[in-house]
Copies of this chain bind each other. A is one copy, B any other.
Amino acid sequence: MFSKACEYGIRASMYIALQSLEGKRVSLKEIAEEIDSPVAFTAKILQQLSRNKIVDSVKGSAGGFQIEKEQIKKIKLSEIVYAIDGDNVYVGCGLGLKKCNANKPCPVHDKFVAIRDNLKNMLESASLQEMTEGLEVGTTYLKR
């Protein structure tokens, strides 16, 4: 569904959001530990997220990553996915034709579009804030 990079990116954003809500800034090392991801690869992804203004990075000693509380409410999963995987989730054809195109549809087009729209709505409505709620009360997890 999503690339590994994107999965790590989402999990990392969720963890940063969770800690930012408590006023804590977190280091790359801590993030990678808490979401069970490879450190250096996660660094690359966080750079992307930082460039895309999804997370704030602070250099230097006592630096790390954080997300402003206002942003945590506003940022939707769709923005994270877009920053890392681009728009292929939205424009891709289920059977791999160049782009999904209703004028020359593949045989699964109608059914696939329904599923994709479903996914799209989910991603566009789910905020980081919403995602952290289960983490706070311990009903959802970022690693096992």
Contact (Cβ within 8 A) A4 B96: yes
Is the CB of A91 closer than 8 A to any CB of chain B? no
- In the complex, what residues of B have CB within 8 A of residue A142's CB? 95, 106-107
A4 CA to B129 CA in the complex, in Å?
35
- Which among A77, A107, A132, A139 has the highest number of chain B CB atoms within 10 Å? A107
- In the complex, what residues of B have CB within 8 A of residue A115's CB? 115, 118-119, 122
Contact (Cβ within 8 A) A98 B140: no
Q: Distance in Å from the Cβ of A1 to the closest Cβ of chain B?
A: 6
Minimal Cβ-Cβ distance residue in B for A6: B96
- In the complex, what residues of B have CB within 8 A of residue A77's CB? 108
A-to-B contact residues, CB < 8 Å: 1-2, 4, 7-8, 10-11, 14, 77, 92, 94-98, 101, 104-109, 111-112, 114-115, 118-119, 122, 126, 131-132, 134-135, 139-144
